[in-house]
Amino acid sequence: MSIDEEEDFTILPNFLNDNSSLKKKKDLYRLPEWMSSLAKRFDSGQIQAETTIPIDQIDYLDEDLRSILINDLSIQHLFPVQSQVIPYLIKQNLSHSPIPPADICVSSPTGSGKTLTYVIPLIQCIRHRVTCAIRIVILLPVQDLAEQVYHVVNQIGNKLQLKTNHYINK
């Protein structure tokens, strides 16, 4: 499909505000059927910094991880994507279900906090492991993003005595 072409596709109604039938909308982009049919929607809404919970009051994060976020990374509140996804991921890890957690795909604008959205739960979930082994592998599509993510992981990991490393194929 070229940029000039548009395609009609069905949008599910907003059942909270609108009980009308399915709507048609013109758009250039949509999720593949396999992704949209299985998706769990996180609604970040219009969360403002004043209405979010300060990091030092978030009980699902370890105390020393909260301290690193506040003191070393100067983060006082979570971004909307973080406040929706981080507790979900941590809860998935705490449930001792025989079924592994489902994959998650987060689509959010640049600068909205996606890196910490997955780094915080990953580090919290592995940091108390006793056996020394590779626990996390993060694959990224471009070198700049890999450097950025490594910097964040390393900054948090060093404070928690976690060994970090990275490999960039040039």
| Confidence check: pLDDT of 149 > 80 | yes
Asked whether residue 1 is assigned to any structural domain, the reply reads no
- Token output for 16: 């909270």
Please indicate, yes or no, if residue 168 is contained in any of the structural domains.
no
Domain count, the chain: 1
90 has a pLDDT exceeding 80:
yes
User: Quick check: is 17 in a domain?
Assistant: yes
Question: In the prediction, which pLDDT does 104 show?
Answer: 80
| CB neighbour class for 112 (10 Å; exposed up to 12, middle 13-18, buried from 19) | middle
Q: Check which CATH number belongs to the domain holding 113 and give it.
A: 3.40.50.300
pLDDT of residue 35: 66
Please check whether residue 82 lies inside any domain of the structure. yes
The pLDDT of residue 100: 78
Q: Give the domain extent around 21.
A: 7-159
pLDDT on residue 54: 85
pLDDT at 75: 92
Stated pTM of the model: 0.69
- Per-residue confidence band for 45, with pLDDT thresholds at 50, 70 and 90: low
In a domain, 170, yes or no: no
Residue 133 lies in a domain: yes
Better-scored residue on pLDDT, 4 or 82: 82
Q: What percent of the chain has pLDDT over 70?
A: 70
In a domain, 132, yes or no: yes
| Cα distance between the two ends of the chain | 33
